[in-house]
């Protein structure tokens, strides 16, 4: 066991429960029309952005139960100068880029593409289009409803969000994604335009995503399906030196198809505030592999006491892939808000393509936990792909390079490569040799707890082609790396594996791809409005190379999307039809 000093600003996301069999009590089951999620792209140096804020607020004021706002500070107008506050987030740039923002203010309404209204080729629209777009969306039927509730324990700054999604119809996608956002109102600061100078009141400002950049997967998307999830998160005192005022927070949830189209969303409304309990132990975070090839694992859990009574004992119960549970009895002495890193005993299992790790803390001091929502940790790690002997490990560091270290060890724990601490920010790349067939382990640490401060890490082959990218983390991340081993992994195809040529298409084109295993494949064509205009293939294909014929003879000139669905995987490619 390793005891660590109390952090000043830590945060965590704790996910548990996926497609649920729990009693539904938050979301309605009657069919509803879509609610609007209006993402507004703004910045403190944007002259016309206050006008955009007023337009968006007016749309919400006219439809308070159907329209929800997220103000995303991004782009060059959002860059602070001198001592100005930084209202940007690590997620805003990717959302801005996906929307194709060409000028500020800009906005997306449910990330839907309205032909002729875009600033460019994406979903971003100028402010004169938002109201009309919102009215169109609110007039459309939704195949799902979203409901959520939020609770904050004021003394410990714990946020508990319970979300339910009920499907009143079938989704066109086999998986959807749930996004849960934290926004904040009444942030006073600088703003060009608006007439308030440095005392402008910023509203609906995006502060954090509990679900990461693009959300967490919903895997049951047919009529009658109920998805339930609970998120526990410790709210920091500030985001990028901007104070987090608990009373000014809003919690929103919305569901997307892939990373793009928003189906519908909702808000938690008034947040319930409560004081801390006597007995409240939490799994603050857990370190488990992102990918698997080993048949044993040593979970590392950060245990935190949120209860007012000192925590002296509890049990950890954990399992992999629903196998035999192991129990570890912990003893110690943690006062309120103290924590300890606990290394659990090794658990053995058989690595597959889909490894579900479940960890729970139970019976603090022999008592029932009074806030059980933060007692669970669930994660899914896929089977490792097969890596070549010679690879490169790359890490991009945006801040605190001296805090970043990493190593790769073999199955006996011997280090075969390592790097850091570094002296400079930027991209650091190191050649690595995996000398023997077997399962290796990658460990990456950031002592600052900022997870590379928005950077990233990856593995390339000798030709510098990216073959693996790591997940977000705070202090530590790990992954198994297989060399010369076969792990039971489902076939994964990427957009780069699919060729459509010629493109642009004047009459006929070939869609070409290669299957490792026989698979059920569906190939369809959609127009810009999302209407299916052609079914090119639907059925089983054997392993090997395949060519699907695409005739555009009956199509009008314009942009179309070819959707290739293989088992549970969906890839979309854009094509241009010319005459």
DSSP per-residue letters across 272-341: EEEPPPSS-EEEEEEE--SEE--SEE--EEEEEE-SSSPEEEEEEEEEETT---EEEEEEEEE-TT-EEE
Q: In this structure, which topology does domain 390-483 adopt according to CATH? A: Lipoxygenase-1 (2.60.60)
Q: What is the pLDDT of residue 530?
A: 58
Q: Is the pLDDT of residue 95 over 80?
A: yes
Over residues 310-363, the pLDDT tens digits come to: 999 999 999 999 899 999 999 999 999 999 999 999 999 988 888 999 999 999
Phi-psi region of 528 (alpha: psi -120 to 50; beta: other; left: phi over 0): alpha
**Residue 382's pLDDT band (boundaries 50, 70, 90)?**
confident
Neighbours of 561 (CB within 10 A): 16
Q: Is the pLDDT of residue 489 over 80?
A: no
Q: Is the pLDDT of residue 472 over 90?
A: no
Q: Do domains 281-383 and 495-577 have the same CATH topology?
A: yes
Q: How far apart are CA 499 and CA 370, in angstroms?
A: 55
Q: Is the pLDDT of residue 532 over 80?
A: no
Structure-block tokens of residue 83: 């001592």
**Placement of tokens 């801005």 in the chain:** 96
Q: Is the pLDDT of residue 535 over 70?
A: yes
**Placement of tokens 């950060």 in the chain:** 302
**Residue 493's pLDDT band (boundaries 50, 70, 90)?**
low
- Exposure class string for 104-138: b at 16+ Cβ within 10 A, else e: bbbbbbbbbbbeebbbeebbbbbbebbbebbeebb
- What's the whole-number mean pLDDT along residues 68-80? 96
| Number of helical H runs and strand E runs in the chain | 3, 43
Q: Are 347 and 253 in contact (CB under 8 A)?
A: no
Q: Are 117 and 138 in contact (CB under 8 A)?
A: no
Q: Is the pLDDT of residue 6 over 70?
A: no
Helix, strand, coil % in the chain, rounded to nearest 5 = 10, 45, 45
By C-alpha distance, which of 52, 205, 38, 233 is closest to 128? 52
Q: How far apart are CA 338 and CA 349, in angstroms?
A: 32
DSSP 118: B
Q: What is the pLDDT of residue 16?
A: 37
Q: Are 266 and 35 in contact (CB under 8 A)?
A: yes
SS3 76: helix
By C-alpha distance, which of 79, 92, 365 is closest to 207? 92
Q: How many CA atoms lie within 13 A of 564 on its CB side?
A: 26
% the chain with pLDDT above 70: 92
Domain regions of the chain by residue span: 14-273, 281-383, 390-483, 495-577
By C-alpha distance, which of 259, 254, 348, 253 is closest to 296? 348
Over residues 291-314, the pLDDT tens digits come to: 999 989 999 999 999 999 999 999
By C-alpha distance, which of 229, 204, 232, 205 is closest to 217? 229
Q: What is the pLDDT of residue 17?
A: 36
Q: Which helix (H) or strand (E) holds 206?
A: strand 205-209
Q: What is the pLDDT of residue 19?
A: 36
How far is C-alpha 301 from the geometric centre of its chain's CA atoms? Answer: 22
Q: Are 263 and 34 in contact (CB under 8 A)?
A: yes
Q: What is the pLDDT of residue 259?
A: 86
Over residues 150-180, the pLDDT tens digits come to: 999 999 999 999 999 999 999 999 999 999 9
**Residue 515's pLDDT band (boundaries 50, 70, 90)?**
confident
Domain 281-383 sits in CATH 2.60.120.580:
no
Q: What is the pLDDT of residue 505?
A: 87
Q: In this structure, which topology does domain 495-577 adopt according to CATH? A: Immunoglobulin-like (2.60.40)
Q: How many CA atoms lie within 13 A of 404 on its CB side?
A: 26
Q: Which helix (H) or strand (E) holds 131?
A: helix 130-138
**Residue 398's pLDDT band (boundaries 50, 70, 90)?**
confident
SS3 95: helix
Q: In what order do the strands lie in the sheet with 544-551?
A: 499-501, 508-515, 544-551
Q: Is the pLDDT of residue 284 over 80?
A: yes
pTM of this prediction exceeds 0.85: no
Q: What is the pLDDT of residue 566?
A: 73
Distances (CA, A) of 297 to 145, 396, 443: 39, 28, 14
Q: What is the pLDDT of residue 528?
A: 65
Distances (CA, A) of 109 to 37, 73, 177, 261, 520: 6, 17, 17, 9, 34
SS3 243: strand
Q: What is the pLDDT of residue 164?
A: 96
Over residues 38-65, the pLDDT tens digits come to: 999 999 999 999 999 999 999 999 999 9
Strands 390-397 and 281-287: unpaired
Q: What is the pLDDT of residue 14?
A: 38
Tell me which of 37-41, 399-403, 435-439, 488-492 is least confident. Answer: 488-492
Q: How far apart are CA 73 and CA 92, in angstroms?
A: 7
Q: How far apart are CA 465 and CA 468, in angstroms?
A: 9
Strands 226-234 and 14-16: antiparallel
Q: In this structure, which topology does domain 14-273 adopt according to CATH? A: Immunoglobulin-like (2.60.40)
Tell me which of 18-32, 360-374, 462-476, 497-511 is least confident. Answer: 18-32
Backbone torsions φ then ψ of 136, nearest 5 degrees: -65, -50
Q: How far apart are CA 154 and CA 350, in angstroms?
A: 43
- What's the whole-number mean pLDDT along residues 528-541? 76
Over residues 122-140, the pLDDT tens digits come to: 999 999 999 999 999 999 9
Query: Inter-axis angle of helices 49-62 and 130-138, to 10 degrees?
Result: 30
Q: Is the pLDDT of residue 456 over 60?
A: yes
Backbone torsions φ then ψ of 278, nearest 5 degrees: -70, -45
Q: How far apart are CA 343 and CA 62, in angstroms?
A: 54
Tell me which of 327-341, 390-404, 526-540 is least confident. Answer: 526-540
Q: What is the pLDDT of residue 567?
A: 58
**Residue 518's pLDDT band (boundaries 50, 70, 90)?**
low
User: Is the peptide bond preceding residue 504 cis, with omega within 30 degrees of 0?
Assistant: yes
Q: In what order do the strands lie in the sheet with 158-167?
A: 14-16, 226-234, 158-167, 144-153, 272-274
Neighbours of 336 (CB within 10 A): 17
Phi-psi region of 240 (alpha: psi -120 to 50; beta: other; left: phi over 0): left
What is the rounded average pLDDT for all residues in the chain? 89
Q: Which helix (H) or strand (E) holds 133?
A: helix 130-138
């Amino acid at each position: 066991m390793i005891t660590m000093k109390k952090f000043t600003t830590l945060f965590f996301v704790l996910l548990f429960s996926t497609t649920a069999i729990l009693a539904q009590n938050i979301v309605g089951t009657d069919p509803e029309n879509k609610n609007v999620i209006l993402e507004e792209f703004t910045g403190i140096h944007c002259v016309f952005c206050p006008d955009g804020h007023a337009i968006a607020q007016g749309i919400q004021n006219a439809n308070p139960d159907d329209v929800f706002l997220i103000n995303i500070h991004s782009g060059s107008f959002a860059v602070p100068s001198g001592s100005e506050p930084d209202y940007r987030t690590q997620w805003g740039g990717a959302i801005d880029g996906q929307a194709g923002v060409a000028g500020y203010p800009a906005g997306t309404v449910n990330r839907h593409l309205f032909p002729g209204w875009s600033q460019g080729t994406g979903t971003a629209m100028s402010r004169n289009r938002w109201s009309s777009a919102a009215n169109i969306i609110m007039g459309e039927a939704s195949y799902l409803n979203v409901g959520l509730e939020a609770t904050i324990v004021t003394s410990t700054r714990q946020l508990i969000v319970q979300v339910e999604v009920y499907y009143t119809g079938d989704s066109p996608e086999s998986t959807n994604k749930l996004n849960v956002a934290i926004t904040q109102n009444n942030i006073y600061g600088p703003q060009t335009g608006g007439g308030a100078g440095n005392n402008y009141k910023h509203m609906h400002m995006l502060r954090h995503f509990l679900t990461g950049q693009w959300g967490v997967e919903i895997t049951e998307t047919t009529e009658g399906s109920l998805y339930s999830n609970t998120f526990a998160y410790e709210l920091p005192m500030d985001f990028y030196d901007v104070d987090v005022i608990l009373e000014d927070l809003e919690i929103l949830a919305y569901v997307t198809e892939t990373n793009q189209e928003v189906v519908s969303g909702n808000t938690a409304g008034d947040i319930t505030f409560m004081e801390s309990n006597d007995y409240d132990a939490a799994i603050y975070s857990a370190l488990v592999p992102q990918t698997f090839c080993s048949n044993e694992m040593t979970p590392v859990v950060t245990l935190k006491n949120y209860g007012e009574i000192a925590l002296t004992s509890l049990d950890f119960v954990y399992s992999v892939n629903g196998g035999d549970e192991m129990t570890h009895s912990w003893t110690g002495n943690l006062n309120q808000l103290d924590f300890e890193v606990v290394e659990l005993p090794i658990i053995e299992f058989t690595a597959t393509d889909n490894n579900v790790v479940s960890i729970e803390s139970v019976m603090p001091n022999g008592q029932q936990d009074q806030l059980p929502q933060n007692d669970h940790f669930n994660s899914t790690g896929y089977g490792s792909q097969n890596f070549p002997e010679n690879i490169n490990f790359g890490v991009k560091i945006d801040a605190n390079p001296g805090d970043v270290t990493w190593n790769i060890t073999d199955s006996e724990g011997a280090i075969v490569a390592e790097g850091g601490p570094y002296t400079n920010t930027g991209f650091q790349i190191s050649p690595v040799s995996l000398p023997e067939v077997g399962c290796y382990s990658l460990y990456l640490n950031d002592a600052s707890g900022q997870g590379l401060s928005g950077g990233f890490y990856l593995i390339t082959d000798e030709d510098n082609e990216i073959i693996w990218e790591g997940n977000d983390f705070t202090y530590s991340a790990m992954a198994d790396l297989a060399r010369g081993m076969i792990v039971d992994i489902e076939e994964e195809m990427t957009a780069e594996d699919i060729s459509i040529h010629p493109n642009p298409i004047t009459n006929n084109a070939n869609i070409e791809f290669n299957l490792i295993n026989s698979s059920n494949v569906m190939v369809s064509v959609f127009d810009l409005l999302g209407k299916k205009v052609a079914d090119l293939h639907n059925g089983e294909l054997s392993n090997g190379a395949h060519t699907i014929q695409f005739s555009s003879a009956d199509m009008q000139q314009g942009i179309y999307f070819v959707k290739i669905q293989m088992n549970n995987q969906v890839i979309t490619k854009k094509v241009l039809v010319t005459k």
